[in-house]
C-alpha cells in the first residue's frame, strides 16, 4: 500500500514520517491503522439530499433571527437514496478547534476519503493550530500519505488545535482573505459548542458577503454537552468516559484492597456533569455528585459537605473506612452561592485589573466577599484565573476535589468532638481529565467520526452552509445510521459573556428527568453503602465488548423511542 510507505520502520514499531513530529507507534496503534470503518448504507449507494421544514432556535428565536439574518430559519438536510453522480472538484479547508477529543483524525479521514471517492481532483487543506491557522492562512495540503498514519489514532496532532476565536471585524476579514486566497468551496469546523457558534458566525459572515465558501460544523467534545435530538452525541465522549471508567475501576479495587482511603475523583466535563454520570453508570461509586442536581436543589457548599460526611459516617458503622467519590469538574459553578460569586467575578475580570491592593474586591456583594474569604487560598486564586477566550471559568484548573477533602475533614473532626463519628478519614485526590482526551478512539467513536466527516463533505458538495454534520439512529447497526445536517441556528440561544449578550449554542446539561440520571438515582443508595464496584477494564477493540456504546447514549435513545 502506497500510504504505508509513509510509516518508517523502527524495530517493529512504525513511525509516521509526515506531520510535525515523528512518533513511534505501539503494536496496538499499528493494528488500528487498517481497522476497517463501516459506512452507513446511505453513504455507500447513490443518494440525494432532501430538505426538512424551516427551523427555529433553541431559545430567543427573535434575537437569533436578528443576529443571523442570512441563515436563520434554514431547513435541515437529510441524505436519502437517490441519484448522486457529481464529480465536481472541491477545495475544502478543515480545522480542529478547542480541546482534544478522540476521533478527530477520523473526521478528517472521512472528509478526505469522500473527496477521493466522489470528487476526484479535490484538495483538502488542514489549517494548523486551530482557528488561528485560518486567520494566518497557515495550512498543510492533506494527502493520502499525510492522513494515513493518523487513521483511528487519538489526539489532534495531525494539524493540531487551538482555542482562538474569530470574532473581531479584522479577524473575520482575515478569515475571508484566506477563503478567497485558497478559493475555498467549504470549511469544516470540528469543535464544541463555542467553536460551532463561531462556525455559524463565520457562515453568516461569508454568506452576507456573497462568498462561495460554505461552513459546516462537526460535534466534538468529550464533555458530551453538544447534543440535541438531531445530533445525539458529540464525538470523544464515548472514548473519554471509557478511559476514565477504567481508571476509576482500578482506584475502586485499590480502595477495597487497602481499606483506608476515600478517593475523591474529579472528572473533566466543564459545566455539564455528563462524564461523571456516565462514569458512575459504568463503575458504581459510593458517592456521585451531579452539578445539575446540586443547582436544582439549591444546595450550598455546606449541604454538599454534609451529604458526603453522612455517607462516610454510615459506611464507618458498617466497617468501611474507604470509598470512591466522583465529582464533576464544573461542580463549583453549580452551587448557587458560588455561581453568584463567579458571575460577579466575571464582570469584574472583564473590566478591572486584579491586583494585590484588592480594590476589585469592593465591587463584590457582601455575601460573595464572605464566601470568597471562606474558600481555601488555592481555590481563591484558581477562581481569579483568566477566563478562556470564550469567557468561561477554567474549571479544569479549580481543584474542587482538594477543597472538598478539606471541608469533609473539618466536618468529621467536628462530628468526632460530638462523638457521632469515631473512625479515621483519609482523602486522596485525583483529577482525571487530560488523560482521556487523546486515547485511541473506541470503535464507536472511530466509526461515528468517519461518518461525520463524510457527511460534512457531502453537505459542502450540496451547497449547504451553517449546518452541523449530523449522524443519527446510533443504537441501530451502522448500516442503518442516518446522515445529514442540522441548522446551527436551531441549536442557538443568547447568553451573557464578557459582560455582553452573545449568541451561543445552548449547552445540553444533564436532565434530571432524563433516563440516564433516573437510572443512576434509582441505584445510588445501594452503591453508597453496599460495595457494588464495577471495573470495566481497558477499551476493547476486538471481541464481545468492543462495540459496546456508552450508557448515556443508549438510555437517551431508548427513552426517545
What is the contact surface with ligand FBP in residues (CB under 6 A)? 98-99, 101, 163, 192, 221-223, 268-270, 329, 395-396, 437
Q: Which three-class secondary structure state does DSSP give residue 34?
A: coil
Q: How far is the CB of 84 from ligand FBP (least distance, A)?
A: 32
Residues 6+ apart with CB under 8 A from 229: 560
Q: Tell me the C-alpha distance between 482 and 57, whole Å.
A: 22
Residue 26 is classified by DSSP as P
Q: Tell me the C-alpha distance between 111 and 104, whole Å.
A: 11
Please work out, in degrees rounded to the nearest 5, the angle formed at the alpha carbon of residue 543 by the alpha carbons of 539 and 544.
90
Q: Tell me the C-alpha distance between 107 and 131, whole Å.
A: 17
Q: Which is nearer to ligand FBP, 192 or 485 (by Cβ)?
A: 192
Q: How far is the CB of 341 from ligand FBP (least distance, A)?
A: 19
What H or E segment, with its residue span, contains residue 11? none
Q: Which is nearer to ligand FBP, 165 or 263 (by Cβ)?
A: 165
Q: Which of 223, 225, 238, 333 is catalytic?
A: 223
Q: How far is the CB of 448 from ligand FBP (least distance, A)?
A: 15
Q: How far is the CB of 401 from ligand FBP (least distance, A)?
A: 14
Q: Which is nearer to ligand FBP, 113 or 164 (by Cβ)?
A: 164
Residue closest to 137 by CA, chosen among 177, 183, 90, 184: 177
Residue closest to 132 by CA, chosen among 174, 91, 103: 174
- Cα–Cα distances (Å) from 190 to 106, 297, 470, 515, in that order, read 11, 35, 12, 28
Q: Which is nearer to ligand FBP, 245 or 268 (by Cβ)?
A: 268
Q: Tell me the C-alpha distance between 359 and 357, whole Å.
A: 6
Residues 6+ apart with CB under 8 A from 480: 40, 41, 473
Around Cβ 456, how many Cβ atoms within 10 Å?
Answer: 31
Strand partners, 91: 123
Residues 6+ apart with CB under 8 A from 258: 322
Torsion, CA 330, CA 333, CA 336, CA 338, rounded to 10: 130
Q: How far is the CB of 438 from ligand FBP (least distance, A)?
A: 11
Q: Which three-class secondary structure state does DSSP give residue 500?
A: strand
When computed from its CA atoms, the radius of gyration of the chain, rounded to whole angstroms, is: 24
Strand partners, 496: 501
Q: Which is nearer to ligand FBP, 497 or 532 (by Cβ)?
A: 497
Q: How far is the CB of 157 from ligand FBP (least distance, A)?
A: 14
Q: How far is the CB of 240 from ligand FBP (least distance, A)?
A: 8
Q: Which is nearer to ligand FBP, 39 or 438 (by Cβ)?
A: 438
388 is catalytic: no
Q: Which is nearer to ligand FBP, 49 or 294 (by Cβ)?
A: 294
Q: Which is nearer to ligand FBP, 164 or 329 (by Cβ)?
A: 329
Q: What are the CB-based long-range contacts (under 8 Å, 24+) for 250-253?
A: 250/535, 251/324, 251/430, 252/283, 252/285, 252/324, 252/533, 252/535, 253/533, 253/535
Q: How far is the CB of 134 from ligand FBP (least distance, A)?
A: 16
Residues 6+ apart with CB under 8 A from 469: 188, 216, 217, 218, 219, 452, 453, 455, 456, 459, 485
Q: How far is the CB of 217 from ligand FBP (least distance, A)?
A: 13
Q: Give me the sheet containing 287-288, strands edge to edge.
A: 287-288, 323-328, 262-267, 427-432
Q: Which is nearer to ligand FBP, 152 or 198 (by Cβ)?
A: 198
Name the residues annotated as catalytic: 223
Amino acid at each position: 500500500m502506497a500510504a504505508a510507505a509513509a510509516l518508517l520502520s523502527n524495530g517493529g514499531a512504525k513511525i509516521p514520517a509526515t506531520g510535525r513530529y515523528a512518533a513511534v507507534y505501539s503494536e496496538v496503534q499499528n493494528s488500528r491503522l487498517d481497522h476497517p470503518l463501516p459506512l452507513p448504507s446511505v453513504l455507500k449507494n447513490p443518494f440525494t439530499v432532501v430538505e426538512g421544514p424551516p427551523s427555529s432556535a433553541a431559545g430567543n428565536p427573535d434575537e437569533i433571527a436578528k443576529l443571523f439574518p442570512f441563515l436563520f430559519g434554514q431547513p435541515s438536510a437529510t441524505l436519502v437514496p437517490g441519484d448522486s453522480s457529481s464529480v465536481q472538484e472541491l477545495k475544502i479547508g478543515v480545522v480542529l478547534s478547542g480541546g482534544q477529543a478522540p476521533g478527530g483524525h477520523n473526521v478528517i479521514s472521512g472528509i478526505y476519503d469522500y473527496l477521493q471517492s466522489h470528487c476526484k481532483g479535490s484538495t483538502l487543506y488542514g489549517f494548523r493550530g486551530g482557528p488561528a491557522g485560518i486567520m494566518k492562512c497557515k495550512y498543510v495540503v492533506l494527502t493520502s500519505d499525510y492522513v494515513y498514519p493518523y487513521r483511528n489514532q487519538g489526539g489532534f496532532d495531525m494539524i493540531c488545535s487551538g482555542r482562538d476565536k474569530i470574532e473581531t471585524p479584522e479577524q473575520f476579514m482575515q478569515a475571508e482573505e484566506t477563503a478567497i486566497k485558497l478559493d475555498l468551496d467549504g470549511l469544516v469546523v470540528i469543535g464544541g459548542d463555542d467553536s460551532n457558534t463561531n462556525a455559524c458566525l463565520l457562515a453568516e459572515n461569508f454568506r452576507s458577503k456573497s462568498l462561495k465558501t460554505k461552513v459546516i460544523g462537526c460535534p466534538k467534545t468529550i464533555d458530551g454537552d453538544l447534543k440535541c435530538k438531531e445530533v445525539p452525541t458529540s464525538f470523544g465522549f464515548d472514548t473519554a468516559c471509557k478511559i476514565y471508567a477504567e481508571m476509576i475501576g482500578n482506584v475502586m479495587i485499590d480502595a477495597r484492597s487497602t481499606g483506608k482511603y476515600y478517593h475523591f475523583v474529579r472528572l473533566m466535563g466543564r459545566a455539564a456533569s455528563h462524564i461523571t454520570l456516565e462514569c458512575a453508570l459504568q463503575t458504581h461509586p459510593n458517592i456521585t455528585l451531579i452539578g445539575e442536581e446540586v443547582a436544582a436543589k439549591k444546595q450550598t457548599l455546606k449541604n454538599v459537605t454534609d451529604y458526603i460526611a453522612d455517607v462516610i459516617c454510615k459506611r464507618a458503622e458498617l466497617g468501611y473506612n474507604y470509598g470512591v467519590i466522583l465529582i464533576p469538574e464544573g461542580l463549583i459553578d453549580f452551587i448557587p452561592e458560588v455561581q453568584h460569586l463567579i458571575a460577579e467575578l466575571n464582570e469584574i475580570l472583564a473590566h478591572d485589573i486584579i491586583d494585590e491592593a484588592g480594590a476589585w474586591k469592593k465591587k463584590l456583594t457582601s455575601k460573595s466577599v464572605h464566601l470568597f474569604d471562606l474558600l481555601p487560598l488555592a481555590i481563591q486564586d484558581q477562581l481569579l484565573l483568566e477566563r478562556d477566550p470564550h469567557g468561561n471559568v477554567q474549571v479544569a484548573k479549580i481543584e474542587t476535589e482538594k477543597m472538598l477533602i478539606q471541608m469533609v475533614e473539618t466536618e468529621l473532626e467536628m462530628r468526632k468532638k460530638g462523638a457521632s463519628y469515631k473512625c479515621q478519614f483519609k482523602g486522596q485526590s485525583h483529577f482525571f481529565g487530560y488523560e482521556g482526551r487523546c486515547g485511541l478512539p473506541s470503535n464507536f467513536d472511530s466509526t461515528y467520526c468517519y461518518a461525520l466527516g463524510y457527511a460534512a463533505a457531502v453537505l459542502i458538495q450540496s451547497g449547504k452552509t451553517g449546518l452541523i454534520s449530523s449522524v443519527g439512529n446510533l443504537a441501530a447497526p451502522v448500516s442503518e445510521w442516518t446522515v445529514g445536517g442540522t441548522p446551527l441556528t436551531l441549536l442557538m440561544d443568547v447568553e451573557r459573556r464578557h459582560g455582553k449578550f452573545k449568541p451561543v449554542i445552548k449547552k445540553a446539561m444533564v436532565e434530571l428527568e432524563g433516563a440516564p440520571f433516573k437510572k443512576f438515582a434509582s441505584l445510588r443508595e445501594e452503591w453508597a453503602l453496599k460495595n457494588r464496584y464495577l471495573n470495566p477494564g481497558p477499551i476493547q477493540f476486538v471481541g464481545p465488548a468492543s462495540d459496546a456504546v456508552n450508557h448515556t447514549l443508549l438510555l437517551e435513545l431508548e427513552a426517545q423511542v
